[in-house]
């Protein structure tokens, strides 16, 4: 185990079985299909993909909010899948989550004081007197104040609620936070507020983030490395800058070309994908992207592409690059024989 990695995910799978009736075969939906990645301490790692590609499920499976079907999740060297419920519960003080919908993720019957006190109480952190000070401090950091303490969630705006959600996640001073589309339910004007808050908190507490999003501009702004998911599989991983500058997989290229231009006169060559994302219950053969891929070849529908390494941790799974490799191999042979 490499000590610089805080989280390692190996061959993680989450399948959902949908019974079709007594005598019919069950449909297996491969929401997360054999994905592996690692996150270094202190970095922000992004999972990108269209709706329904399994990125949220990945986040929830890592925290064991849904049990994985197979695979390994190592947090700080410890395999969390083998932990008992109680041990896992205690470990949760080190790994927290910020949810997508700030309207659904706060209990409507609890005041802000109760919502923020609960994590401290259940994990028995700090002396009882100290807790209130910690809560006040965290409230101040997220831009709320004392007089909000006894209000209920419905009395706040979406942005305020999301900041309460972030405060709840941070109040325990965890090492690792999974943020599941934390800004996609918010107005654009509030989004940057929340994102800057998350960056500030990262600096202050040395947090490691797994940032799940479909918003590429946000990802470019705040993440160090990113993984692109398509139909439950990771198809490209790399440093965020590398991937944006030089996307390898045709799907990544299409995603990045879809970012709105910065200036009205700026011309962009858009790659417009046709068709919809296929159902994960019945994924296409070979490379799952081939029916929509502008560069699809004959082999794409037959074989699942292997990983190609482009250096400095940038990898992609696409036959385009494997063909090159093979051609090079052949060339080498040719040279030797001549």
333: left (phi over 0), alpha (psi -120 to 50) or beta: alpha
Contact of 215 with 183, CB cutoff 8 Å: yes
Select from 27, 65, 258, 323 the one that contacts another protein (CB under 8 A): 65
Alpha helices, DSSP H only, in the chain?
55-62, 85-91, 112-122, 128-141, 158-170, 188-205, 216-222, 240-245, 250-257, 319-337
Report the C-alpha gap between 30 and 15 in whole angstroms.
Answer: 5
Contact code string over 124-163 relative to another protein, x by CB under 8 A: -------------------xxx-----x--xxxxxxx--x
Q: How far is the CB of 232 from another protein (least distance, A)?
A: 21
Q: How far is the CB of 107 from another protein (least distance, A)?
A: 4
Report the C-alpha gap between 199 and 219 in whole angstroms.
Answer: 12
95 is written with which tokens? 């790994």
194 is written with which tokens? 């929340």
Q: How far is the CB of 284 from another protein (least distance, A)?
A: 31
The answer for residues whose C-beta is within 8 angstroms of residue 226's C-beta and 6 or more apart is 45, 46, 47, 48, 219, 237, 238, 239, 240, 243
Minimal CA–CA distance to 57: which of 13, 25, 23, 108?
13
Select from 187, 241, 245, 325 the one that contacts another protein (CB under 8 A): 187
Q: How far is the CB of 3 from another protein (least distance, A)?
A: 25
Q: How far is the CB of 324 from another protein (least distance, A)?
A: 44
Contact of 91 with 75, CB cutoff 8 Å: yes
Looking at residue 202, the DSSP 8-state letter turns out to be H
Q: Which is nearer to another protein, 194 or 288 (CB)?
A: 194
Q: How far is the CB of 279 from another protein (least distance, A)?
A: 22
Report the C-alpha gap between 157 and 76 in whole angstroms.
Answer: 36
Select from 39, 48, 63, 185 the one that contacts another protein (CB under 8 A): 63
The answer for residues whose C-beta is within 8 angstroms of residue 70's C-beta and 6 or more apart is 11, 12, 13
20 is written with which tokens? 């079709």
Contact code string over 243-282 relative to another protein, x by CB under 8 A: ----------------------------------------
Q: Which residues 98-117 are close enough to bind another protein by CB under 8 A?
A: 99, 101, 104-110
Select from 13, 40, 123, 134 the one that contacts another protein (CB under 8 A): 123
3 binds another protein, rule: CB under 8 A: no
- Tell me, by CB under 8 A, how many residues bind another protein: 42
Select from 49, 119, 238, 247 the one that contacts another protein (CB under 8 A): 119
Q: Which is nearer to another protein, 162 or 213 (CB)?
A: 162
Report the C-alpha gap between 248 and 244 in whole angstroms.
Answer: 9
Q: Which residues 66-95 are close enough to bind another protein by CB under 8 A?
A: 85, 89-93
Provide the binding-site residues for another protein, judged by CB under 8 A: 60, 63, 65, 85, 89-93, 96-97, 99, 101, 104-110, 118-119, 122-123, 143-145, 151, 154-160, 163, 165, 168, 187, 189-190, 193
């Amino acid at each position: 185990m490499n000590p610089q990695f805080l989280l390692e995910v190996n061959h993680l799978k989450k399948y959902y079985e949908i019974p079709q009736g007594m005598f019919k075969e069950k449909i297996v939906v491969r929401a997360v299909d054999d994905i592996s990645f690692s996150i270094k301490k202190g970095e922000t790692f992004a999972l990108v993909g269209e709706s329904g590609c399994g990125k949220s499920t990945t986040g929830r499976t890592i925290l064991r909010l849904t049990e994985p079907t197979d695979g390994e999740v190592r947090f700080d060297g410890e395999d969390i899948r083998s932990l008992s419920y109680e041990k896992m519960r205690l470990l949760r003080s080190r790994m927290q989550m910020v949810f997508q919908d700030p309207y659904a993720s706060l209990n409507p019957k609890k005041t802000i004081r109760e919502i923020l006190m609960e994590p401290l109480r259940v994990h028995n952190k700090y002396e009882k007197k100290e807790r209130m000070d910690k809560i006040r401090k965290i409230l101040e950091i997220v831009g709320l104040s004392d007089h909000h303490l006894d209000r209920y969630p419905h009395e706040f705006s979406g942005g305020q609620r999301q900041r309460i959600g972030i405060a709840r996640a941070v109040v325990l001073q965890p090492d690792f936070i999974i943020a599941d589309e934390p800004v996609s339910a918010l107005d654009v004007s509030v989004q940057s507020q929340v994102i800057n808050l998350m960056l500030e908190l990262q600096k202050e507490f040395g947090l490691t983030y797994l940032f799940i999003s479909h918003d590429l501009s946000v990802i470019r702004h705040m993440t160090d490395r990113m993984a692109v998911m398509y139909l439950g599989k990771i198809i490209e991983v790399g440093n965020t800058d590398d991937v944006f500058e030089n996307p390898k997989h045709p799907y990544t290229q299409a995603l990045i070309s879809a970012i709105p231009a910065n200036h009205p006169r700026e011309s962009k060559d858009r790659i417009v994908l046709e068709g919809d994302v296929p159902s994960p219950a019945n994924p296409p053969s070979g490379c799952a992207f081939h029916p929509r891929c502008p560069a699809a070849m004959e082999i794409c529908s037959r074989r699942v592409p292997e990983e190609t390494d482009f250096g400095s941790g940038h990898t992609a799974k696409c036959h385009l690059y494997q063909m090159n490799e093979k051609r090079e191999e052949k060339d080498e042979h040719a040279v030797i024989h001549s």
